[in-house]
Chain A
């Protein structure tokens, strides 16, 4: 016990057994699969041999258990009291790392202190979560106040930028997944809708960027039509009247019809026509605003304009801001490139490894794809391959289902918290685990682009296991005292 505060209440709660059980199950399964993934036919090392990866992982697991025990023993108020202190220390650590770290595998995120190698970005996850929770818990906090919104966004974005500077884009995306917490706490769904719309524009803009329709590309053409459609639906959902919705759609349709008729005689630039339709929609919105004097129309107009500007900048961002390997990963995922040497090769090998597992798999240590080192990063980011190859659909589906149950359990824990601090922290933990699961497994089975983030508890690595352990057990500690007065 570090914090000896007043003990006015009796702690009646218990550590959640279900979650702890999942945790123990996952780390043991992870350990066995790391052994299988790093198994080298030429140099056989035992499961407990410390020169092998499995042996090392055992050390990480042991230390994580000690860590978990310690975290449970600490008074719950400790976390809330020092949340900002942790945050500042964490930011300082990220800055130091950025300054002193040497480049390892293309990123500058490793802090090397004697024999210990740490990745501060992994520990930043729980630190941001605690800071967020504390901010939300402050008296009279309302998310949609401008100052609060700025505060909350900067708590998330500051570490995001620092981690991007370390070339750990994957981890930065993990931090961004905390937007789910904001959603739960009252961020209008429109923001998430904007996010999803942005992803759709991006995919369309890139995937169909090589063919032109008049002055704009095919992808931009489709996206412009979508913007008109989205606008129409937004008008409908905010106005609760059918008429303007129908007029918007008819207006666009009329413009295209007119253009079609003209095109029977003269050559028509369909790209320009789409832009004309978009402008007409915008003008109509302006008209609606002056007629009904409702601010929502201006917001919808803003949505339309931002959407269009975003769309126009997509190609620039993609080709001039993203690095070639990142472009390649996205292109492979979108099926535009069959890059069998880089990103596509990894995903291709990973799919073959999983696909070759069949229904029941080849059996423990009998996976050939992983043994012959065809799969890259097979004991870290691509660990799920080993599961798929050696244990087949049965094994991989089981793990996937176990994970989703685990996450639903976390959601349940988050929701049953009595304090806002607990709930926000709980949602942060849930978001982070969910994001890791969705991205990591999505990447391995070829649905998501290759973003190098680990599968919690399974991927090899001390920093990530410690990071996830801390994240989880602080939640369990908070959950334990949820019934205090």
Chain B
């Protein structure tokens, strides 16, 4: 044990350590302040200016390699107030083509510390943004006359085609939340806000570089810091190739003119989305340049909500397009056999003819039930499944088995498409109904409308198209996606793994036959393209409590070795056969032939000219002045 004395010595240890540390610090101070020549150079009041070097945002191509989106330079006017002596304001205004009032306004905005917290009269401040090349040229010529004015260049998105604004999305200045969440962004950066620009932001944006410059106490640039040794070159964003076929997409948008709804086409073998039309849509060029704010407000206040991508965020009762999925579950669970027949007398007999049905032969088996879209058959099936006590302990348990099958077929949860704000649709579980009925003792007849895709069931057009792809593939699907290729990096794994539905192939073949018959002599004869093409399809008419029924179609072609699966939804388009089927027919023609044959051209004209705009409740809506106008730069 140490004696008291030896402990007292520790005072000296501590004192010595203190003195040694302070001596080291003094040496470092001496080194910094007296010996270091580089700091002596900065001693003439030099300091760093870190200037971000913005990378070019990745370009976007369609599946054929057509350039859709690229960049074009745009210029910001920067002002250093302290350097503006002998400034000819009148000439400046004239050059920029603004009046004195506007100049005063911009000047006040720039100096206002609420709007511009980083304001300093010594450093460059943003005065006016987004000059186009012509305006830039005019200013550049006279720049020597305007001390304190600098031009900073940036790039802006340019679009080759006026369509698919909802898929591409737009870029805009980064907001506070994003800046707080990701330190990569600083005020004034541009960031993808919707569509692919948002979902693939990290691929597209590249990586900012930095240039470290020196400047004096008044902010004047003095050159590079250590000859640019610490500079970092920007890394350009990655180019994207979409799975979208621009021709098909544009044609779909043309067909959906003056209608509300969507068309989704998927390549079943890969899950690549060939077209994803959501109507109404907008020209992506509207949301660029200085007209952004005005146009955005117009689009946002449009009652038909053109900023919502209905293909993934619109949810509809799938109606009869849901029947193949139902039939598959009943077959797989052994509730029915391919030969089970149920009677139908213009309606579901046990409930006194509700839901109603239409005229067809009776009794009928599953394949023919799909062909004729018999409601009663699927009501029997659902009742048979939910009340089967030998297989399931309770109605709830049976229902949850049913729900799990639905989920496996891609319903009830977002599919995981590479676009933001995908909705999940809705597939209830047994708990949901127990809550609704406030008891566990409900039965199939309480919820019979879900047998025919009505009631609580909701699905997005993408989910319906995905069901078509699943049936086309005879039992599996790939997560649908719009980006086919990211230059220099692999596609995410989720898009290349098969999702199995767990349904036997024989049942799928049966369903395919039913859907093929529906086209040849059933409900969707309107899309019969034989002998050129064997199409399989299923119509749907979804009840709409707010107005006319929605018109739906789901299908794929050709029957063997399917190339394409399709879903069409026309809001308020009444029977499936009325609007959805003709649109699907034209899309198939366009896809397989690349043109519309002569005998279908009357149909094309007719479809394009149809105007089906459902009534929308428009209280307190801002007055619509006129169509959105394009910004000055996108002449």
Contacts and interface: CB of A to CB of B under 8 A. Distances in A.
Contacts of A454: none
B359 interface: no
Nearest to A414: B11
A349 B47 contact: yes
B538 to A, nearest CB: 52
Interface string A336-375: 0010110001001101101111110000000011011110
Interface stretch (A48-56, A307-315, A397-405): A397-405
A407 to B, nearest CB: 6
Interface string A139-170: 00000000000000000000000000000000
Contacts of A388: 29, 32-33
Given A407-B18, A408-B18, A341 B10 contact: no
Contact of B47 (A372, A411, A415): A372
Interface string B11-36: 10011001101101110111011101
Which among B33, B48, B219 has the greatest number of chain A C-beta atoms within 10 A? B33
Contacts of B32: 351, 354-355, 388, 445
Contacts of A356: 39-40, 42-43, 45-46
B217 interface: yes
A400 B21 CA distance: 11
Given A355-B42, A368-B45, A393 B10 contact: no
B14 A411 contact: yes
Interface stretch (A69-77, A181-189, A239-247, A264-272): A181-189
A390 B40 CA distance: 14
B42 A352 contact: yes
Given A358-B34, A359-B34, A42 B120 contact: yes
A467 interface: no
A392 interface: yes
A207 B47 CA distance: 29
B268 to A, nearest CB: 43
Interface stretch (A59-67, A434-442, A473-481): A434-442
A339 B10 CA distance: 40
| Chain B interface size range | 35 or more
B213 to A, nearest CB: 12
B210 A352 contact: no
Interface string B529-570: 000000000000000000000000000000000000000000
B161 to A, nearest CB: 38
B212 to A, nearest CB: 6
Contact of B21 (A42, A369, A438): A438
Interface SS of chain B: helix, strand, loop or mixed?
helix
A302 interface: no
Contacts of B219: 372
A184 B33 contact: no
A186 B2 contact: yes
A174 to B, nearest CB: 16
A356 B214 CA distance: 14
B14 to A, nearest CB: 7
Contacts of B38: 355
B230 interface: yes
A356 to B, nearest CB: 4
A301 B210 CA distance: 51
Contacts of A358: 33-34, 40, 43
B25 A400 contact: yes
B7 interface: yes
B22 A400 contact: yes
User: What 4 A-B pairs come out closest when comparing CB atoms?
Assistant: A355-B39, A368-B217, A368-B45, A393-B33
Interface of B: 2, 7-8, 10-11, 14-15, 18-19, 21-22, 24-26, 28-30, 32-34, 36, 38-40, 42-43, 45-48, 50, 120-122, 210, 212, 216-217, 219, 230
19 contacts: A183-B14, A338-B230, A345-B50, A352-B39, A354-B29, A355-B33, A358-B43, A359-B33, A371-B217, A374-B48, A393-B33, A400-B29, A401-B22, A403-B22, A441-B25, A445-B28, A445-B32, A447-B25, A447-B28
